[in-house]
Structure 1
């Protein structure tokens, strides 16, 4: 009988991979052509400010034949600038580091445009050293991660920057004074840029702080601490800051422009408040181990509690390691999770279980999921 699980020949696998790469390149070319068909030229929103949409909204400030871009998207904007009389791009200002804002930089042929790049000061590393935040081998203490899982979406390749912008800076470009306001939440160092338009309207380029319809761009970019709400509270504070600035027009990175922003901002603020309350519900009665667990009882082994006569767990005030042990009558044990605790503590606990409860051998460890606080000490165990 033939083996039905015989692996595919290497040649077939190689051919499939080549086809996949070819199709990806073809799709990219088709998308670029669709951009040019659907967007004859950037759309003028207010006098001197234009909109181009691809992977994000790219905004163009125009002064004579010169332009300043806010975000860059996939770079398809370059082919359209001459249609509005732009011959030189002086600057590209990024609101934040997310890949859809800047992915075209590495492959763009700027030709005579030769722009300089400015980014929020708190995100410079994300642009210039992206691989620093995309490690193959992670640890619990890596910055901008939730137990080793990054909540940044950095560019694929480093992007050289000429200038960083701080909260409160004013960036002068031709007749425009661009006020820089730090508004994190969707991204750790995100910036909102404000200008007075030629018609004296206060215009806010808000990145992904808010979408038209009082909507959040996505939840995951604001999940910074595994469910304790730091990113959500930061986003809420930034939304309130924009409410206080009271812009006449908001130009977001995604979605349509927001023409009556105050009403939407206040609705959005209230929605985030409500979401935060729902998200953190119950934390007030589970902020320490005694409240969190009212079933287990202390044992003669320090830091060990018994849930039943055969199930043990680590427990003390304000101490939350993931470690449980199921002990059989024969002295053999099954451990469920083992992470976020010191090796010396683990040694002490196991010695105590041997001496007081007859632990002889751990047969196996069950890991419930891939977060580091559930498995990092398994190799030691």
Structure 2
């Protein structure tokens, strides 16, 4: 992938390719911040740099790490956030661990993980300093995009430049919202933007350093960090408000959202209605019982559902099961389907895409999936 570069000062450059790569120059030697791909070599050659001494990483995601095997020189040292070392050195453990494969509701760290481990020489934590040529580098712990992301404050040639990872993309923009899927309520879909407060804390920390520029891993070099950060947080707060305006979370857990109670521009939560007599509800399963006592079942996530159906049969409320419909692939809706099929002779139907997932779950790495 071709790239170009921006010169910030005599000793500091940014290579632009699949990610932004910081280059601190000391004669013909370089320290990199993040890595990208082999196109960095084109820029290094233009700058007459012949050796990469160190590569510092802001976080472990493979889009900014995977190219290290193509870029590193013999003897290049790799430095990473201390709390993310395992996601550089022991990624095989992640990929082979069933807890990162099945029944995933806490989907962090997610699958943007290296395919193969890399050797780490040093780890860094908040407040660590290092000197490279004319530059002073200070580590700032700035979680948000990942749980242990760091940023690097570079003081060189009279500039204060922060390489901020993926905390921010540009003025009022962020690289992805999914990375913020965490918080008080949960890390699944109910955790939408749940980590926005920690993101705000990290961005406020960067503002406190009075940087002249922010350089994100993805995005544009930011010349007005204060405006960019303030605009982003206003938009994130508005985005969260609009999400809660239509979210059932305010019904499930109203105590978590007192600030958002009774807002005029939020959809009101209606009171529940009595379940019609032809419906039964067990866990995530709904059963429609016809006038002739035949039953249409939707989902089966627990063997207890099978027991409840057997009770209804014993009571004479159900004569036979005519069909099982699978609404979606989540484990709490499908875990007991094999037992259901063994117990009841009926058709199982679902959407064609859902069928692909539940018939071959080993082919997918997605949240809330069941090996059943």
Post-superposition Cα deviations, 1:122-161, rounded to whole Å, max 9, x if no partner, equal 322322333444469732257535xxxx734112322221
Q: Which moved more, 1:160-169 or 1:84-93?
A: 160-169
What is the TM-score normalised by the length of structure 1?
Answer: 0.73
Shift in CA distance, 331/236, structure 1 to aligned 2, threshold 3 Å: farther
What is the TM-score normalised by the length of structure 2?
Answer: 0.75
Deviation for aligned residue 1:348: 5.1
Out of 180, 195, 199, the residue aligned to residue 235 of structure 1 is 199
Figure out how many residues of one structure are paired with residues of the other and give that number.
317
Q: Which moved more, 1:69-78 or 1:370-379?
A: 370-379
Q: Which ranges of structure 1 fall in alignment gaps of 5 or more residues?
A: 1-30, 298-306, 315-320
Shift in CA distance, 47/292, structure 1 to aligned 2, threshold 3 Å: same
Deviation for aligned residue 1:294: 4.2
Deviation for aligned residue 1:263: 1.3
Contact 2:25/2:133, CA 8 A, preserved across alignment? no
Out of 217, 224, 227, the residue aligned to residue 175 of structure 2 is 217
Deviation for aligned residue 1:218: 2.0
1:24-103 equivalences in 2 (<5 Å): 31=1, 34-35=2-3, 39=4, 42-103=5-66
2:345 equivalent in structure 1 = none
Post-superposition Cα deviations, 1:187-241, rounded to whole Å, max 9, x if no partner, equal 2322111122221x32210011111222111223333421323233433332233
Out of 123, 146, 156, the residue aligned to residue 84 of structure 2 is 123
Deviation for aligned residue 1:76: 1.7
Deviation for aligned residue 1:90: 1.6
Partners in 2 of 1:313 and 1:287 — Cα distance? 21
1:1-40 equivalences in 2 (<5 Å): 31=1, 34-35=2-3, 39=4
1:271 equivalent in structure 2 = 235
1:163-182 equivalences in 2 (<5 Å): 163-182=122-141
Deviation for aligned residue 1:96: 1.4
1:346 equivalent in structure 2 = 305
2:208 corresponds to 1:244: yes
Partners in 2 of 1:46 and 1:361 — Cα distance? 78
Q: Which ranges of structure 2 fall in alignment gaps of 5 or more residues?
A: 255-267, 341-372
Higher relative contact order (CA 8 A, sep 6+): 2
SS at match of 2:153: strand
Partners in 2 of 1:217 and 1:192 — Cα distance? 15
Out of 284, 287, 291, the residue aligned to residue 322 of structure 1 is 284
